[in-house]
């Protein structure tokens, strides 16, 4: 059987691996991070940042996943967050114009 992905509009930001991006782009995108699940080891509730390699650890429905610099962080249709490699993101999504 074959399936087609339903047309949906998602929100996403691109992670660049820096603390500036974490504070100015990613954390505001997450909103109230206290609502994210936490595994007890992250520097923010549910979100961890490892400066040497630029990894960003994000709790997802499948467990903690790591976004590398260049990856996109997507807010899913149920409000969940997960990382996506740039090549997959570009093959799957296209930018839409904001509606007034």
- pTM of the full predicted structure? 0.77
Whole-Å CA distances, 70 to 15, 60, 96:
6, 19, 20
Tens of pLDDT along 75-99?
988 888 899 999 999 999 998 887 6
Domain-wise residue ranges, the chain: 11-92
| Predicted local confidence at residue 26, as pLDDT | 86
Average pLDDT of the residues of the chain: 81
Residue of higher predicted confidence among 33 and 65:
65
Q: Dihedral of the CA atoms 5, 94, 9, 13 (nearest 10)?
A: 120
| Predicted local confidence at residue 77, as pLDDT | 83
Q: Which tokens is 13 given?
A: 């930001």
Strands of the sheet with 81-84, listed across from one edge: 11-14, 72-75, 81-84
| Predicted local confidence at residue 63, as pLDDT | 77
pLDDT confidence of 42, banded at 50, 70, 90? very low
46, pLDDT greater than 70: no
Tens of pLDDT along 63-73?
788 899 999 99
């Amino acid at each position: 059987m074959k399936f087609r992905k339903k047309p949906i509009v998602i929100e996403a930001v691109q992670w660049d691996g820096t603390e500036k991006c974490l504070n100015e782009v990613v954390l505001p995108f997450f909103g109230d991070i206290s609502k994210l699940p936490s595994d007890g080891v992250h520097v923010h509730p549910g979100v961890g940042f490892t400066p040497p390699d630029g990894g960003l650890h994000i709790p997802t429905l499948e467990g903690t996943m790591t976004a590398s610099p260049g990856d996109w962080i997507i807010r899913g249709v149920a409000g969940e967050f997960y990382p996506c490699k740039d090549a997959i993101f570009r093959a799957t999504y296209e930018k839409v114009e904001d509606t007034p």
